[in-house]
Amino acid sequence: MNFLEERIQRDGIVKEGNVLKVDTFLNHQMDIGLFRQMGEEWKRRFAGTPINKILTIEASGIGIACIASEYFDVPVVFAKKSKSVNLDGGMYVAEVESFTHKCKNQVIVSKKFLGPEDRVLIIDDFLANGYALQGMISIVSQAGATVAGIGIAIEKGFQPGGRTIRNLGYHLESLAIVEDMDAETGKIWFQEQNENAG
């Protein structure tokens, strides 16, 4: 098991409805030492890929993206959730259905911060059905920019997002892939990672 899988095994809590709670170290209280290991690992996995910007989505992506940016030495832009409908044309807009809150949000990124010259690494905490990623991919494509890679902390491999995104041809690196989990026993199984992940 790698460092993140070990931490999930130790501190993650399996909830009903396919929800994995990791709020003691990832998306409420944040373990910055762990975030550094994640940043280092993404840097290793995307070595040789030109990247000049990181894109994430509020709220839980922001912390990990900021620490990762220290390893890539690039700015971080986050897609903002917006309720307002009268957007002034200065924004890229995508609609994202929230896995955890079961509602739809518009997410926006100002046109000032993404353009055709950008090679973007998309970062997020979870990949479940892939809606958040599809929204961010849409924003990158509206900007005429390139998705250089996608870094996810925890992919739930039993949900379809990962397969969909890989089938679209993106270079997706998930640091931990949960193969299955059981709310009754609290057990979590991980997919073996076939390469020499640290």
Give the residue with the Cβ less far from ligand 5GP, 185 or 196: 185
CB 107 within 8 A of CB 127: no
Give the residue with the Cβ less far from ligand 5GP, 49 or 100: 100
Nearest distance from C-beta of residue 47 to ligand 5GP, angstroms: 25
Give the residue with the Cβ less far from ligand 5GP, 5 or 124: 124
Beta-carbon contacts of 192 under 8 Å, excluding residues fewer than 6 positions away, are none
Strand partners, 105: 96
Taking the C-alpha atoms of residue 157 and residue 2, their distance in angstroms, rounded to an integer, is 16
Strand partners, 123: 151
Q: Letter for the amino acid at 136?
A: M
Nearest distance from C-beta of residue 125 to ligand 5GP, angstroms: 5
From 30-38, 75-83, 120-128, 140-148, span contacting ligand 5GP (CB under 6 A) = 120-128
Q: Binding residues for ligand 5GP, per CB under 6 A?
A: 19-22, 27, 60, 99-100, 124-132, 156, 161
